[in-house]
Amino acid sequence: MLLIELDRQIGDGDHGANMDKGFTAAVAKLEAGAETVQDVLKVVAQTLMSTVGGAAGPLYGTAFLRASKALGDDTEVDAAGVAALIGGALEGIVARGKATTGEKTMVDAWTPALAAAQAVAEAGGSATEALYAASKAALEGAEATIPMQATKGRASYLGERSIGHQDPGATSTAYLLAAAADASGIA
C-alpha cells in the first residue's frame, strides 16, 4: 500500500495501517446508525481519536470534529458547505499540530483543498464538484511536499533526508477527499 511505503521512507511505516484501522472501525460504528452529515463526521472523529495511534489519529480526529461543527445545523451540504467543512478540518489540524504550509505535513494538502472548494462554491458549482476540485488540489499539494524538508512530526527527525519523499499524511488527505467526492456522486 502506497501510504505504508511513503511513511516507511520518512517515518515509521505505520500511517497506512493507522488509517486503515481507524476508518474500518469508523465504518463499523456508522453501520450502527448516524442520521445527519454532522453525526457521521462526529462518529468518525470519535472513532479515529480512540482507535488510531500516532500523530494522524488526533489530527484527523480533531479535523473531523471541527468539520462537523463547521456545518452548523445545515442538513443539505452544498459547495459552500463543503468549503466550510474543509475549512473547519484545516483549522482543527492547525490548532492541534501547529504546522503551517511548507512544513511537509497534511496542512500542505488541506490548504489548497480549501481554496479549490471555495473557488467552486463561488462559481456556483455543486458539492460533488467542490469535493473533486478539493481532492485534485490536495493531490497536487501532496506532490508539492516532495522537495520540502519536514519541520514537524516524526519526519522532521530526518532533517534534510526528508527531502525527496512525498508526505504520507498529505497523501492520505488527497485519498480521503477523493473518496468523499466519489461517495457524494453516488448519493
- List residues binding ligand ADP (CB under 6 A): 7, 11-12, 14-15, 18, 54-56, 59, 93, 97-99, 105-107, 152-154, 167-170
List the single partner that 16 binds among ligand ADP, Mg ion, none, CB under 5 to 8 Å by kind. Answer: none
Q: Which stretch binds Mg ion (CB under 5 A): 11-19, 75-83, 120-128, 179-187?
A: 11-19
CA 78/CA 108 separation, integer angstroms: 24
Q: Which residue is nearest to Mg ion (CB)?
A: 11
Verify binding: residue 152, Mg ion, rule CB under 5 A: no
Long-range contact pairs involving 85-91 (C-beta distance under 8 Å, separation at least 24): 85/41, 86/110, 86/113, 86/114, 86/117, 86/134, 86/177, 87/114, 88/63, 89/63, 89/64, 90/63, 90/114, 91/66
Question: Given candidates 3, 6, 10, 15, which one binds Mg ion under the rule CB under 5 A?
Answer: 15
Question: Given candidates 12, 39, 122, 182, which one binds Mg ion under the rule CB under 5 A?
Answer: 12
Question: Given candidates 11, 61, 92, 97, which one binds Mg ion under the rule CB under 5 A?
Answer: 11
Q: Which H or E run includes 132?
A: helix 127-143
List the single partner that 59 binds among Mg ion, ligand ADP, none, CB under 5 to 8 Å by kind. Answer: ligand ADP
Yes or no: say if 95 and 110 are a contact pair by the CB < 8 Å rule: no
Q: List Cα–Cα distances, 2 to 13, 30, 77, 140, in angstroms.
A: 10, 26, 31, 16
List the single partner that 167 binds among ligand ADP, Mg ion, none, CB under 5 to 8 Å by kind. Answer: ligand ADP
Q: List Cα–Cα distances, 154 to 1, 4, 78, 159, 167, in angstroms.
A: 20, 14, 36, 10, 11
Question: Given candidates 6, 14, 77, 135, which one binds Mg ion under the rule CB under 5 A?
Answer: 14
- Count of residues binding Mg ion (CB under 5 A)? 5
Q: Please report how close the Cβ of residue 55 comes to ligand ADP at its closest, in angstroms.
A: 4
Q: How many CB atoms lie within 10 A of CB 71?
A: 18
Binding site for Mg ion (CB under 5 A): 7, 11-12, 14-15
